[in-house]
Amino acid sequence: MLKNSRDNKKIKLNLICTFLMLIIVFSIIGVTAYSTCTDKVDRKNSYDIETNLLVKENKVDNIDNDLQPQRKIKLLDFDANVVAEYIEFKNELNEYAGYVIRDTHSGYIYDYSNEGNLFEGLLSKAGLTYEDLYEGKVYFVNPFEIYVELNDGKIIDLMPQSGNYPSEITEGQLEESFYERKVEFGKPIEPELKSFKISEPVLSRRGSFTPCTTGDFDDLKITDSKGRRVYPHDHCSPTAATTIMKYFSYIGKSSLSSAYSNNDVFAKFYIAMDTNGGVSGSKDSGTARKNIAPAYTKVGIDLGAKPKESYTLRGTSSKTMIDALKAGKLLHVSVDLLETSEGGHSIAVVSYSNGYFRIADGWSSYFRNVSYSDMSVQQVVSVKY
């Protein structure tokens, strides 16, 4: 009898131990499953903001709600600490769908776009490949200043303001870039870089605006007060100026009379800028850059639409241009290089959004977007009404 009692106790004890072990095992499995599930959810949710931004910005009609990362590049500060991440996304068809640069600590989005592949263009110009990025170090000052240190120790500026590629810099110059434009990572870098556009409340009521092209004026015969005549040539500067003055009138900012045609405005600028020696047409030198800013004032007075401001900005950096646009100004920009086109040229810049400047290039009868790295900016004239 005693033996049976002991056996029963032993069986009960074994059952209790087994039951407790089962509870522990199932608890571990449950926690693991939950952790795995949570991890998957977190991983997916970690790209929700980026996906939503690209979907909202959809301009190439290949964006869906199921974007996945296809390439990641770690971005470093001067001490080689990871501070940000460049992520390229693809859609369900494995097509490139855009990129995002985000802070690795706060998740703040520094830059994003689905209109172009940021590094692909930069690497091509610098004669580098993605392998160079993966094997080297990519330094990130801000969305307009990115450098790569190669395995051999060379440091390449991927966005040289000179527009000359490849552009090698020293370690001291790299350190100076971080020092001069020091940012506190984890907080916004130049918040005006994101989604900035000049307010254009009049556009929807007045239809679209067509910028001027040099071809519009090739056959225009210009006559001055003394009866001298000339056919325009090498005239991108007065073309850009005409676009800017007419655009201010279009958005309701200037008092320029609608009685003045594009030809009228262009002729005034051609003479005021002394383009190719003015009406004498004795030169093929285009327009001297020093003549651009004062011409806006002179022509404005002649046409009864004098601008409040017209002067050459001190700097030519992307931030300088963005700050001016943010203040309601339009920019007459002189470049030595515009994408693949070389040689001195003038363009009109009317706004900035998501890493791109909206320009009238003087060749196309529409506005288009270009990045700062695609322009070799030499002078910026700010105009405001």
Which of 31-35, 240-244, 274-278, 328-332 is the least confident region? 31-35
Please list the residues that pair with 352 across neighbouring strands: 357
Q: Residue 285 has which token pair?
A: 């030198």
Q: Which residues of 364-378 are buried (b: 16+ CB within 10 A; e: fewer)?
A: eeebebbbbbbbbbb
328: left (phi over 0), alpha (psi -120 to 50) or beta: left
Query: Mapped to the 3 state alphabet, what secondary structure does 69-112 carry?
Result: EEEEEEEECCCCCEEEEEEEEECCCCCEEEEEEEECCCCCEEEE
Range of the domain at 161: 48-189
* Domain tally, the chain: 2
Q: Sorting pLDDT into bands at 50, 70 and 90, what band is 202?
A: very low
Query: Is 223 found in the same domain as 178?
Result: no
- In this predicted structure, the answer to whether residue 99 has a pLDDT above a threshold of 90 is no
The answer to whether residues 256 and 304 touch, using CB atoms and an 8 Å cutoff, is: yes
Q: Are residues 131 and 259 in the same domain?
A: no
Q: Sorting pLDDT into bands at 50, 70 and 90, what band is 243?
A: very high
pLDDT at site 276: 76
Residues 361 and 336 in one domain: yes
**Tell me, what's the pLDDT at 49?**
58
The two three-digit tokens of residue 121, written as one number: 């263009």
Q: pLDDT-based confidence at 145, cuts 50/70/90?
A: confident
Same domain, 87 and 138: yes
Q: How confident is the model at residue 196 (pLDDT cuts 50, 70, 90)?
A: very low
At residue 209, the pLDDT reads 82
Residues 336 and 216 in one domain: yes
Mean pLDDT of 201-221: 68
Give me the sheet containing 309-312, strands edge to edge: 309-312, 375-384, 330-338, 341-353, 356-360, 368-370
Q: Is residue 360 part of a domain?
A: yes
- For residue 118, pLDDT over 90 is answered with no
**What does the pLDDT read at residue 9?**
54
Residues 228, 181, single domain; the answer is no
pLDDT of residue 192: 32
Instruction: Give the phi and the psi of residue 247 in degrees, each rounded to 5.
Output: -70, -40
Q: Judge whether 18 lies within some domain.
A: no
Joined together, the tokens standing for residue 195 give 């989604």
Lowest mean pLDDT among 37-46, 47-56, 84-93, 300-309: 37-46
Task: Provide the 10 A C-beta neighbour count for residue 71.
Answer: 16
Rounded (5°) CA angle 115-117-118: 110
CATH number at residue 227: 3.90.70.50
Whether 233 has a pLDDT exceeding 60, the answer reads yes
231 falls in which pLDDT band (50, 70, 90)? Answer: low
Label residue 283 by pLDDT band (50, 70, 90). Answer: low
Measured distance CA(222)–CA(232) in Å, rounded: 8
Give which of 163, 134, 172, 162 is closest to 150, Cα–Cα: 134
The DSSP symbol for 340 reads T
Each residue's pLDDT tens digit, 56-89? 555 444 445 567 888 899 999 888 999 889 988 8
CB proximity list for 322: less than 8 A, separation 6 or greater: 190, 192, 193, 196, 352
Q: Are 59 and 114 in contact (CB under 8 A)?
A: yes
Q: Which residue has the higher pLDDT, 348 or 98?
A: 348
Number of Cα atoms under 13 Å in the Cβ half of residue 83 = 22
Confidence of residue 163 (pLDDT cuts 50, 70, 90): low
Scan for tokens 């005034």, then name that residue: 268
Q: How far is CA 380 from CA 13, 67, 102, 248, 349, in A?
A: 87, 39, 30, 17, 10
Query: Interhelix angle for 236-250 vs 262-272, to 10°?
Result: 130
In this prediction the pTM is 0.50
Same domain, 174 and 306: no
Note whether 289 and 334 are within 8 A (CB). yes
Question: To which residue do tokens 């030809």 refer?
Answer: 263
Pairing of strands 375-384, 68-76: unpaired
Same domain, 67 and 208: no
Asked if 272 and 335 sit in the same domain, the reply is: yes
Residue with tokens 């952790």: 35
Last residue of a domain, one of 167, 189, 211: 189
Q: What rounded mean pLDDT belongs to the chain? A: 76
In a domain, 8, yes or no: no
Residue 59: C-alpha distances to residues 14, 53, 170, 173, 217 (Å)? 68, 12, 39, 37, 33
**Residues 266, 152: one domain?**
no
